[in-house]
Amino acid sequence: MTHVAVVGPSGAGKDTLMLAACAIRPDLRLVRRVITRPSGSGGEDFEGVTPEAFAQMQAQGRFLLDWQAHGLRYGLPRDAFLDGPVLVNLSRRALAQAATVLPGLHVIHITARPEVLAKRLSARGREDAGQIAARIARGTGPLPEGLPVTHIDNSETVETAVRAFLAALDKVNA
């Protein structure tokens, strides 16, 4: 298996699809990210740290890759990559840098229709309607040139998207 970066807008269902795939395929390994927000704030399973602790970890060289998005810092622990290829939830902004440290990186881009994203983001309760509308209006932006990308629309059922996700992983590793 090659390293696979999963990207897409908030609410597209990246974490849901990755967790479902890992439950079906025990050979898949998902990287647990370090994020500068409280661990109990919901969403993915991550290590929550203070900005000061993050800066210390960064200075110690503990991240293979780190970036900033939406006012938070994100880091991928270097030791998560010691045992071979992984699935990782990445920001589009970090893809070019990721491609330099993860040779053969493949990208799975998860999307959903705007009204589906709005409904999912609203259900999270982290942002108000104006913030959600602004987030969706910003769009996703382009992906870096030269990376192999598989696109999956997760606007319908989770089961349909999980099948597409697993098929994409099988194709990447064929």
Place of tokens 């998860």: 110
Nearest-angstrom CA–CA distance, 42 and 29: 21
CB 34 within 8 A of CB 54: yes
> Of 62, 2, 15, whose CA–CA distance to 161 is shortest?
15
Known binding-site positions: 8-15
Known binding-site positions for ATP: 8-15
Place of tokens 């609410």: 11
Nearest-angstrom CA–CA distance, 5 and 150: 10
Give the rounded distance of the alpha carbon of 99 from its chain centre: 15
Q: For residue 142, count other CB atoms closer than 10 A to its CB.
A: 7
